[in-house]
């Protein structure tokens, strides 16, 4: 068989392919049929709507959270480039669907609003979480009611109107791991939402361990280059319908150029995370042997791990003897900045920045103290990174 149809079949990616192959080809299955090699970017904000009667029905279907084929009508309803990224991420997380948002916080907001709209405003969460997530849950702006619980006590905190259980594992910034299978068992029928930003689907796929919903700040490892902001939720189609309804009403859709960059980032995600994780593990070992460091937090060093991560990942945190903020001020190669998951290494002081908006007593209770620094390991040579850390630690 010759022609575009045979080429399209040859480029179809399925679950029988390896994760690395899926990362390269997911969301690109129709490119040969289109006669192009790179995914196109659809920047249209509006689309022709000649038959008003037909389009009226399609508008109603979009508003109901469905995605009818054909013209998106208006880019707040849907965008083909965003759809490609969503399809690819759903493949990597082994989910029925994925829904893209303008940021990770927009994605979490939509999940909380979906719970509130379903009459389930109570949320049970496990600390630590990313500081912005913690703040959103605690501030009550969305009509939610929050109960904080330790793993093993989550079941006791669940009430009749509990709509979500939320956990981040490995946690930001302590890198604490939570056993997802055990936690899912505690949740019973309540959906378990897992923030998988730090782990990425390369090292951990929460749906395989009993979670119902997976959230990413796509700004981080999925994009991977510090030049795009976005969020995405991977889940079942039923929950995706509710999220799309909220996204249409609130206007929180991911922009098409951002979706293009995120989709491109997925292709190199496995090789980036593998290289970054190897360097992070080496740096964790060296820091653990350094007298200027009191504690190192890195999943790969934990003797009692749940076994759900395929590697220790590219993030670590450590507590210094002396003034941690002076270490941040003294780095030269490593960038002192918030965020994580970029090709270049970033270091920051969580108590001052990412977790500043969390109450001090809450920060302390979950291990985020003034001595802690969080390091997002990039693709630089390990010896160059170690030389920079070594000279910066002397400043402390």
| pTM of the model as a whole | 0.95
Across 11-31, b (16+ Cβ under 10 Å) vs e yields: eebeeeeebeebbbbbbbbeb
Structure tokens at 394: 């002397």
The CA dihedral of 187, 189, 190, 193, to the nearest 10 degrees, is 80
Q: Is 94 a catalytic residue?
A: no
Cβ-contact 64, 57 below 8 angstroms: no
* Active-site hit among 84, 120, 127, 220: 220
User: Cβ neighbours of residue 162 under 8 Å, at least 6 residues apart?
Assistant: 120, 122, 123, 124, 190
CATH architecture of the domain with range 4-267: 3-Layer(aba) Sandwich (3.40)
Nearest to 258 by CA among 121, 107, 157: 107
For CA atoms 133, 139, 141, 144, the dihedral sign is positive
- Going from the C-alpha of 72 to that of each of 68, 82, 86, 169, the distances in angstroms are 8, 11, 15, 36
Taking domain 269-394, whether its CATH number is 3.90.1150.10 is answered by yes
**Tokens 């964790």, located at residue:** 284
Structure tokens at 127: 């600390």
User: DSSP string spanning 102-144?
Assistant: SSHHHHHHHHHHHHHHTT--EEEE-S---HHHHHHHHH-TTS-
3 state SS of 37: coil
Tell me phi and psi for residue 146, to 5 degrees: -115, 140
Cβ-contact 301, 317 below 8 angstroms: no
The strand pair at 192-195 and 162-168 is best described as parallel
* Active-site hit among 42, 134, 195, 388: 195
Cα separation, 193 vs 47, whole angstroms: 35
Q: Is 220 a catalytic residue?
A: yes
Domain boundaries along the sequence of the chain: 4-267, 269-394
Q: What is the pLDDT of residue 15?
A: 74
Q: Is 388 a catalytic residue?
A: no
Cα separation, 351 vs 71, whole angstroms: 47
Cβ-contact 153, 123 below 8 angstroms: no
* Active-site hit among 7, 76, 264, 326: 76
Q: Is 195 a catalytic residue?
A: yes
**pLDDT in tens for each of the 396 residues of the chain?**
233 333 333 456 777 899 999 999 999 999 999 999 999 999 999 999 999 999 999 999 999 999 999 999 999 999 999 999 999 999 999 999 999 999 999 999 999 999 999 999 999 999 999 999 999 999 989 999 999 999 999 999 999 999 999 999 999 999 999 999 999 999 999 999 999 999 999 999 999 999 999 999 999 999 999 999 999 999 999 999 999 999 999 999 999 999 999 999 999 999 999 999 999 999 999 999 999 999 999 998 877 789 899 999 999 999 999 999 999 999 999 999 999 999 999 999 998 988 888 888 878 888 889 999 999 999 999 999 999 999 999 988
3 state SS of 180: helix
Cβ-contact 172, 133 below 8 angstroms: no
Q: What is the pLDDT of residue 356?
A: 85
* Active-site hit among 28, 130, 255, 260: 130
Cα first-last separation, the chain: 68
Cα separation, 256 vs 83, whole angstroms: 9
Q: What is the pLDDT of residue 11?
A: 54
């Amino acid at each position: 068989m010759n022609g575009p149809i045979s080429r399209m079949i040859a480029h179809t990616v399925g679950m029988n392919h390896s994760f690395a192959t899926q990362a390269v080809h997911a969301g690109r299955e129709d490119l040969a049929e289109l006669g192009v090699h790179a995914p196109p970017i659809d920047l249209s904000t509006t689309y022709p709507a000649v038959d008003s009667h037909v389009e009226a029905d399609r508008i109603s279907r979009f508003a109901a959270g469905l995605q009818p084929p054909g013209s998106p009508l208006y880019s707040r309803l849907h965008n083909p480039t965003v759809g490609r990224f969503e399809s690819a991420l759903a493949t990597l997380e082994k989910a029925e669907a994925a829904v893209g948002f303008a940021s990770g916080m927009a994605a979490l907001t939509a999940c909380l609003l979906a719970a509130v709209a379903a009459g389930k405003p109570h949320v049970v969460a496990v600390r630590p979480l990313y500081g912005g997530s913690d703040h959103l849950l605690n501030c009550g702006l969305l009509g939610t009611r929050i109960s904080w619980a330790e793993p093993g006590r989550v079941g006791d905190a669940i009430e009749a109107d509990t709509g979500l259980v939320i956990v981040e594992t490995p946690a930001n910034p302590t890198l604490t791991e939570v056993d997802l299978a055990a936690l899912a068992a505690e949740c019973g029928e309540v959906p378990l939402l897992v923030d998988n930003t730090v782990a990425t689907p390369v090292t951990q796929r929460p749906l395989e361990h009993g979670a119902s919903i997976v959230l990413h700040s796509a700004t981080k490892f999925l994009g991977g280059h510090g030049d795009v902001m976005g969020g995405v939720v991977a889940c079942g189609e039923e929950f995706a319908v509710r999220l799309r309804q909220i996204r249409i009403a609130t206007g929180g859709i991911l922009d098409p150029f951002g979706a293009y960059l995120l989709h491109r980032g997925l292709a190199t995600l496995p090789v980036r995370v593998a290289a970054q994780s190897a360097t992070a593990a080496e740096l964790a070992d060296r820091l653990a042997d350094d007298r200027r460091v009191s504690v190192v937090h890195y999943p790969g060093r934990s003797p009692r791990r749940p076994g759900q991560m395929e590697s220790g990942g590219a993030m670590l945190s450590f507590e210094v003897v002396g003034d941690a903020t002076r270490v941040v001020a003294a780095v030269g190669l490593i960038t002192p900045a918030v965020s994580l998951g970029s090709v270049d290494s970033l270091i920051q002081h969580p108590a001052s920045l990412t977790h500043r908006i969390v109450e001090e007593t809450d920060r302390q209770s979950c291990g985020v103290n003034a001595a802690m620094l969080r390091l997002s390991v990039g693709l630089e040579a390990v010896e160059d990174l170690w030389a920079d850390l070594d000279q910066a630690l002397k400043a402390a």
